A and B are shown apart, each in its own frame.
Chain A
Amino acid sequence: MDCDRNETKKLLLVGNPNVGKSALFTRITGVHAVSSNYPGTTVGFLEGWLRRGGDSWRVIDVPGAYTLSPTNEAEQVAERMVDEGADVVVLVLDATALERNLFLAFQTMERRIPVIIALNMVDEARHKGIDIDPEALEKLLGVPVVPTVAVTGQGINRLLDRLPEARPGEVRFSGAHSGQTAVPGKEERWNAIGEIVERVQRVSHRHHTLLDKLEDASVDSFWGMIIGLFVIVASFASIRFLGEGIIDEFLDPLFDACLLPVAESLSALLGGEGLSHDIVVGRLIDGHIDFEQSFGLLTTGLYVPLAMVLPYVVAFYFVLSLLEDFGYLPRLAVIFDALLHRMGLHGFAIVPSLLGLGCNVPGILATRVLDSDRERFIAATLISVAIPCAGLQAMIIGTVGELGMRWVLAVYATLALSWLILGRLLHSFLPGFSPELIVEIPPYRIPSLKSLGMKLWMRVRGFLLEAVPLVLGGILIVGLLDATGITALMSRLLAPVFNGLLGLPAEASGPILLGILRKDVAMGMLGALGLSPVQLVVATVTLSMTFPCIATFIVLWKELGGKRMAASMGIMILAALIAGTAARMLLSIKF
């Protein structure tokens, strides 16, 4: 940063969750943001920079908070950040819910920090028949008020122009002496807010729009379930359609046309066999290179992450981001609350679980939104045991799917049942209670393509940066272990468990143990063993449920701590063996 001439000032963006604070942050800072954790907590926040009229600003996106009398960790961080002070606080208020938003505004202004208000989403408020007079609000609060629409950028320039006008508000309370700013009671605060809202806000009647009706139907006891089921089925179907489409129409032809000739000539150059050949190109299958089975760095190492997994990752995150930006996920929490309550969680735990379907790491990180340690333990354990990530799922569909979709279904059914049973058991045996759901359900919004695209890109980039090196490393290690005979030794040692309990050949132990590196690579190795359908299902279930991959392992350790992570791992291994054995027994009866 070349801002040495004058001191960098600090600007805090403070507001409720879902008020468009992040959109505003992106608008004023551009794309170069740094994300960090608040010291001593697991709460992350974004930091960016802004230059305006000769001033340099450090802009901090304070975690969304409903109140500065904290009810969760994010609000604790918000409180501390505000108490640390700033040159200017931009209070982002949702014009469609002014009264509730003013509660936080009052708490902030009572701290005597220079404040400017961005009255955001004025367009949506107008649609809802809510008309707010910004000048009147400005007079009553004694701080600048600028109407904005952060997603379109409307009013942002004016907001930045008026930054120097920011000043400590003059919150007056009825019954208090003029100029008195002592911290008021809750009742006084709400009364003062009520008076202000009465004076600045006009609400006119309007008819229910289609989106309103959909909002009501989505949490209806009957239609909500129907819509929920439809959304889930449609999501999976479109992820599969998109993923498969990208692979068949685009990536397979591309790899065959571009990578295959290169790999073939390299193979010929290296003499078709030997250690270096096997590591770089992989083993030839019937004299040919097989992208899925050769297991060389240049062949399988590139094909698995880029041509088998990436398309599904893109498709998954596209659909998830769409549901997220449309505002459907909190409704899913309402639908799943009754079920999750019986597993020691509340409905909101569905959100980390869904994220886990993309990658377990962000899923487990997202369990931070849950209230108690007990919930976080249950949710994180369930995610790492029974929620297969997109990479693994892509490989399950690619490998097990070759034998017929009913085998894929058998894998998913076993995992889902394990999820339910394990959740119920953890709830019964862990001391504590299921907490209650209290959640605001934001209105449906038509997603903005730009923010959707950016979110998708961030998520896919995360996958590329993390997965590709790990897959390559995994394949390198597989090659070395094979060459040094360690794989054979491990297989012999574990043969009793694999053969006796799970009915798997000893060679299956290698891939399942190597699942700790990357489960998608391990799944590819299982596919290359030529197992029977039942064996493949059992092996897939065991692989999905045992050890988490290395990235998940690290994040579990960080989130749960050593002791509870060890407990979680013990549960995982036990659950995997039981589920694998049960699947073997059940499927053997039928097939």
Chain B
Amino acid sequence: MARSWRHPQRGDGGGPLTLRDLPNGAFARIVQIVSPQQDEEVAGSSRRCSARLEALGLRTGKIVQKVSGMPFHGPVTLLLDGRQIAVGWNISAHVLVIPLKEREGSHGLRPERD
């Protein structure tokens, strides 16, 4: 997980890392979903993205397990409440997570609340 130290978004050491950098199989808690920069044409699509992520239950505070990341900048698949969700490579850089030491709840099924 050494990569997280170098991550440009959170250079303050030991902090959150992106979903993209989370190792396969690791459990983590989502701490922030960063909105992509709101440049003209991306804005509408980005709003749709955030709404869609939330509607699928991918939001701050949830515990996820990373299943895999596809090669050649392919999507990242994660397990959320026992259900697989795949998000594109670019989105995976905007989801910040804190890795968890032990498997909290079986399969990330138990709803975790702050």
- B75 and A347 form a contact (CB under 8 A): yes
Q: Residue B83 contacts which of A194, A335, A443 (CB distance < 8 angstroms)?
A: A443
Q: Which chain A residue has the least Cβ–Cβ distance from B46? A: A436
Nearest-neighbour CB distance to chain A for B81, whole angstroms, equals 6
Q: Which chain B residue has the least Cβ–Cβ distance from A346? A: B88
CA distance A439 to B105 in the complex (A): 24
Tell me whether A129 is interfacial, beta carbon within 8 Å: yes
Could you say which residues of chain A place their CB within 8 Å of the CB of B73? 338, 341
CA distance A99 to B61 in the complex (A): 14
Q: Which chain A residue has the least Cβ–Cβ distance from B58? A: A438
Q: B57-76 CB contact bits vs A (8 Å, 1 = yes)?
A: 10100000001111111110
Q: Could you tell me which residues of chain A, from 100 to 153, have a CB within 8 Å of some CB in chain B?
A: 100, 103-104, 128-130
Q: Residue B87 contacts which of A67, A341, A371, A436 (CB distance < 8 angstroms)?
A: A436
Tell me whether A325 is interfacial, beta carbon within 8 Å: no
- A67 and B55 form a contact (CB under 8 A): yes
**Chain-B contact segment, one of A213-221, A382-390, A532-540, A559-567:** A213-221
Tell me whether A2 is interfacial, beta carbon within 8 Å: no
**Chain-B contact segment, one of A51-59, A162-170, A198-206, A469-477:** A198-206
The number of residues on chain B lying at the interface, defined by a beta carbon within 8 Å of a beta carbon of chain A, is 40
Task: State the majority secondary structure of interface residues on B.
Answer: mixed
Q: Could you tell me which residues of chain A, from 435 to 489, have a CB within 8 Å of some CB in chain B?
A: 435-443
In the complex where A203-B109, A337-B75, A441-B84 touch, is A71 in contact with B51 (Cβ < 8 A)?
Answer: yes
Nearest-neighbour CB distance to chain B for A119, whole angstroms, equals 16
- A103 and B57 form a contact (CB under 8 A): yes
- B81 and A129 form a contact (CB under 8 A): no
Tell me whether A432 is interfacial, beta carbon within 8 Å: yes
In the complex where A97-B83, A436-B49 touch, is A441 in contact with B77 (Cβ < 8 A)?
Answer: yes
- B84 and A194 form a contact (CB under 8 A): no
Contacts A72-B48, A100-B81 supplied; 8 other A-B pairs, CB < 8 Å:
A69-B51, A100-B57, A103-B57, A130-B82, A191-B113, A197-B111, A198-B111, A216-B68
Q: Pull 14 A–B residue pairs with CB atoms less than 8 Å apart, ordered by A.
A: A100-B55, A100-B57, A100-B81, A103-B55, A203-B106, A334-B77, A337-B70, A337-B89, A347-B86, A436-B89, A438-B86, A439-B86, A440-B85, A441-B77
Per CB-CB distance, the 5 closest pairs between chain A and chain B, nearest first, are A436-B88, A66-B55, A338-B74, A67-B55, A441-B84
